[in-house]
Structure 1
Amino acid sequence: MHTVGELLREWRHRRRISQLDLAIAADVSARHVSLVETGRSNPSADMVLRLADHLDVPLRDRNRLLLAAGFAPRYTERPLDGDALSAARDAVGRVLRAHEPYPALVFDRRWNILMTNRAVDPFFALVDPDLLRPPVNLVRLGLDPRGLARLVVNTADVRAVFRSRIARQLAAAPDPELTALYDEFLAPAADEPSPSIESDVVISMIVCFDGRELRLFSTITTFGTPMDITLDEISIESYYPADAESAAYWSSQQEPRP
């Protein structure tokens, strides 16, 4: 079992921050950071959290740091569909509904889909039912031939986007299950062609759907200053039409307001 000092040193190395830079940011002496990392000083819970904050350590791993230092975990992990997170869940639901007629969905740190809006349903209807058994994984859904991959024209571009995002995610906070997902779907093959990016502004996903090609780009929304692990780890991905023809199609799908 790693000590709190060893874990903090790992996170500091992962962030490529020197002891001096961390000490300046956390308003402590570089000697104190060194003593904590080598186990010659036992940090308080507040000091552990202060250093973790400046190292941008995820809440789940801050709990691990606290446990390693001999303290109780500070952050809870409650299900998104539970009573405790009802206000947050309702807020997410409003965001999803407000984005219609365009698709939007919510996924966790391992890219498992937690919520969607109604605009996603027509796409899911074309997916092999085996892929829709919980947990439904967005990466697997997007790249498996039984899923949405057969609808995507520029699969190489989409795979490259997934690869870049998950590689950055793993570099920031390693995770065995996410690593396995990366190895299964995203590890580059030796003969894999480079993606043909058409624009240096935004990468569109081109989907053959309903007899036409739809071009979409996406944005990511996260919770600000969450204190719950679940909220710290979820993201809302909202898709928008990338050209006038796609926008016209989505507008035609919009249900009239009562």
Structure 2
Amino acid sequence: MFSMMLREWRTQRGMSQLDLALSAEVSTRHVSFIESERSKPSAEMVLRLAEALDLPLRERNAMLVAAGFAPQFGDSRWDSPEMEEVRRAATLLLAAHAPYPALVLDMAFNILDANPAALEMIGADRTVLGKVNLVDLVFMPGQVRDSIVNWSDVAEYLLHRMREGVRRHGPQSAMGTVMRRAMMQPGTAALSMVRSHWRGSVLLPLAFHANGQTTRWFTTVTSFGAPQDAMAEEITIEQFHPNPG
């Protein structure tokens, strides 16, 4: 129900009723009445509270539904007609980044698309797209994890990003599921207390050993601005750049 969902998100954001009221520009009394179900919010009020809580579009839709309203933002599948423009833009970015690796990821780090260099790096072909997860490749024992020379750095960085994803989307989101799976893998528990090393970092250095040679990279992340679709909001393009250092 909406009142419980609102209270859970407010608590997760570390906000009091007063904090939320000030951010949403409503009275504390009104927030209290909504949480205690003495007042039913309008769709406009639901969206105002969701904005004050800095919720992603997917979670804003969920808030609207819980309050008895229809979703107001798209929630398309990657392969749907609605995502054609986003797919086309992603394809152009992947091609433009060649011959260096680049990946398209969803919110939970599932690999939706990749250029040939990225597929070669993970030792796969296009048949795996949509079926393999980058976090699983990095954390689970196997070819990719074994090839990462500075695995602890990469793992710490991804843990930081996953924590941020869980903060944004909630512990029961797909991101929460992926993070819990990563935490079960060998060596991860020793990294679980590292929370500040990557805070504010822009670039991730990566040393990758394959075919008898070590290549060095740094990564950048690109997202689509001002989307009105939950899927489009969550898409990132991960690009690997040669690191001569």
| TM-score, length-scaled by structure 2 | 0.85
Computed over aligned residues only, the root mean square deviation of the Cα atoms, in angstroms, reads 2.6
What residue ranges of structure 2 are gaps of 5+ in the alignment? none
Q: How far apart, CA to CA, are the structure 1 residues paired with 2:177 and 2:20?
A: 32
> Secondary structure in 2 aligned to 1:78?
coil
Match of 2:17 in 1: 19
Establish whether residue 153 from structure 1 lines up as the match of residue 152 from structure 2. no
**Offset from partner CA, 1:107-137 (integer Å, 9 cap, x none):** 1122111011222132233x5x8x9475111
Q: How does 1:71-110 map to 2 (within 5 A)?
A: 71-110=69-108
The aligned amino acid for 1:139 is: V
Aligned length: 235
Match of 2:236 in 1: 235
Return the offset for 1:71.
0.9
- How many percent of aligned residue pairs carry the same amino acid? 39
Q: How does 1:39-54 map to 2 (within 5 A)?
A: 39-54=37-52
Return the offset for 1:192.
9.0
Q: How far apart, CA to CA, are the structure 1 residues paired with 2:85 and 2:228?
A: 14
The aligned amino acid for 1:189 is: A
Task: Go from structure 1 to structure 2 and tell me whether the alpha carbon gap of 1:217 and 1:228 turns closer, same or farther (over 3 Å shift).
Answer: same
> Secondary structure in 2 aligned to 1:163?
helix
The aligned amino acid for 2:210 is: F
Q: How far apart, CA to CA, are the structure 2 residues paired with 1:87 and 1:100?
A: 21
Q: How does 1:127-166 map to 2 (within 5 A)?
A: 132=128, 134-166=130-162
Name the stretch that deviates more: 179-188 or 39-48. Answer: 179-188
Q: Please list every run of at least 4 consecutive aligned residues from structure 1 whose deviation after the TM superposition is greater than 4 angstroms.
A: 190-194
Match of 1:251 in 2: none
> Secondary structure in 2 aligned to 1:96?
helix
**Offset from partner CA, 1:160-211 (integer Å, 9 cap, x none):** 11222112222332235543432333354359998xx8xx884411101343
The aligned amino acid for 1:183 is: R
Name the stretch that deviates more: 76-85 or 5-14. Answer: 76-85
Q: How far apart, CA to CA, are the structure 1 residues paired with 2:192 and 2:80?
A: 44
Structure (1 or 2) with the larger CA radius of gyration: 1
**Offset from partner CA, 1:136-157 (integer Å, 9 cap, x none):** 1111122333231121111111
| TM-score, length-scaled by structure 1 | 0.81
